[in-house]
Amino acid sequence: MNLRFILVCILLSFNSFLFAQHSELGLFGGTSYYIGELNPSIQVANKIRPTLGIFYRKNLSYRYSFRVGANYAKLAATDQFNSNELSKFRKLSFSSTLIEGYTTFEFNFLPYQINNHITSKYSPYVFIGFAVFSSTPEVKNDAGGKISASELVVVPSIPFGIGVKFNFVQNLGLALEWTMHKTYTDQIDGLPETYIGGYQLSNSNNNDWYSFLGITLNYKFLTEKDHCRGPVN
C-alpha cells in the first residue's frame, strides 16, 4: 500500500514536470541605485537611474525556473544627501554605466504558469544566482571637476531578490521584482583610497552593492503540451 502510494506520487510529479515545462522571453525596465561610500544606506532618492534588460526563462515545473539575461543600467550617487562629517569634507559624486550578464534560479511559492487556468493567477517568488558586470565610474567634486578618470571594472556579483508574478493578457505575464547584488569590489563608485591631505575616502574592506527595482513583461511560447494540461503539483 505504501509502495503503491509512493509510485503514484512519483508519477504525478513526473507528469507535472513534463507538462509544466515551457519557455518565456521577457523585458525588464525600472530603476537602479548603488550602496557604498557615497550612499551608505538605501536612499532611493540619491540619484536613482534607469535600467533596461532582456531575459530568457526556462520553467522546469510550476514551481522552479532558470533564467538568463542581460541588463544595462546607470548608477550614480552624491555626498550632498549624506550628513556625516566625511561627506561634508569630501563633497564628491560619481556616475557610471553598468552592463551585466546573469543567471538565476527561481522558486514560486504557488504553482504558477502564464495563461494556465489550473494554476494560480499569481505567485510570490524568490531567486538567487550569479552575475558578471562591468562598470566605468567617473568621480567629480562639487565644482564639477574630474577627480578620477573612468577605468573599466569587471567583477562577479551575487544577485538575489523577491518578486510577484501575474497573468496579464493571454500568453503575456507581468512581474514586480527587487534585486540586490552583492559585489566583490569597492570600485563601483571609482573612489580613490586617498585624496586631498591624505584623508581616506573609501574603505576597501567594505564592498559596494547595487540594486534594481522594476517590472518585467514576458511572453510564454506555446507548446503542444499547452493543449493538454497536466496536474498541478
**Residue 200 falls within a domain, yes or no?**
yes
CATH of the domain at 97: 2.40.160.20
* pTM metric for this prediction: 0.81
Mean pLDDT, 10 residues at a time, the chain of 233 residues: 50 46 93 87 77 96 95 90 66 90 97 91 97 92 67 92 95 96 90 69 79 96 60 48
**Residue 55 falls within a domain, yes or no?**
yes
Domain containing 109 equals 22-225
**Residue 4 falls within a domain, yes or no?**
no
Cβ(34)–Cβ(189) below 8 Å: yes
Q: Which residues, 6 or more positions from 5, have their beta carbon under 8 angstroms from its beta carbon? A: none
Q: Please give the tally of structural domains in the chain.
A: 1
**Residue 14 falls within a domain, yes or no?**
no
